[in-house]
Amino acid sequence: MPSYAVVGGSRGIGLELVRQLAANPDNVVFVTARNKAKSTYLSALIAESSNRNVHVVEADVVDARAMKTAAAEIAKMSGGALDVLIHNAARMEYANLFKAFDDYETDDQLDAEFIESFKVNALGVVHSVNAFLPLLRENTTKKIVIIGSGAGERSLMWNVRMHTMVAYGTSKAATNMVATKYAAQLESEGFTVVSLSPGIVDVSGTAVSEFDDASKAELARQLESFRKAMPDVDLTPITPEESVKTLLKIIGSLSVADTGSFISSFDPRFAQTST
């Protein structure tokens, strides 16, 4: 049975990854959640599933020891091996998302947001991969997929002249670099390590909070900047279901030739695999 670990699967894209993976009875899906008791959407998904192939372990990616403990628990259930690791956990605080460097009220607030974002979006990936590497090494598939973001892609941000999203964008650029470093480290072992952007996805259905009016206006302005820079690209937000359907097709098609890649939502491969 193909085995998957989804790190960060309680809401949004992670939740939909669990849903679609679990729909195949041949799969076994392991999920980490920061707080199992509060993961109500995930609990409901599991209760409604007839396949009984989803197993949840509590762990926070900022806690390296907790991630290793979670991996050890999963190893007991998986026979000590794992086919695919999908790291989805990320910090994207709506209250600070569209801030520029000089929009924070104090330097301390700026520092705090950058440090917390980096802990989750960069070090969190490191803790996740380090914890699950022993399991991945026991199987031949050896796929590590880091859910990245176009907001961390330097050339794209320059083309649209996006000077906001500073904490999120900078830390997601670090996410992409972490994936690259692991790809270089693990290439000789036959691993496929990629950073994969899910596209512009409307995850409001399971979000903890909503954008305020100012954030909605800024989002509209940013999308207009994208449209001017990329007039031939459809920038209509898609549903988690649509995004994950494409993500899983791409994950299934990945080979060692792709290792080290950042695969953007604007990559032709998305258009080729979408239905």
The reply to whether 94 belongs to the active site is: no
Which residue out of 168, 195, 197, 261 is catalytically annotated? Answer: 168
The reply to whether 41 belongs to the active site is: no
| Residue 17, token pair as written in the block | 């990854």
Strand (E) or helix (H) holding 265: none
Which residue out of 117, 149, 171, 197 is catalytically annotated? Answer: 149
Gyration radius of the chain over CA positions: 18
Closest CA to 41 of 17, 71, 5, 73: 17
Which residue out of 99, 142, 143, 172 is catalytically annotated? Answer: 172
Q: What are phi and psi of 192, to 5 degrees?
A: -110, 115
53: Cβ contacts below 8 Å, ≥ 6 apart = 22, 25, 27, 28, 29
The reply to whether 172 belongs to the active site is: yes
> Which residue matches tokens 């998305």?
270
How far is Cα 55 from Cα 37, in angstroms, rounded to an integer? 14
Catalytic residues, by residue number, are 149, 168, 172
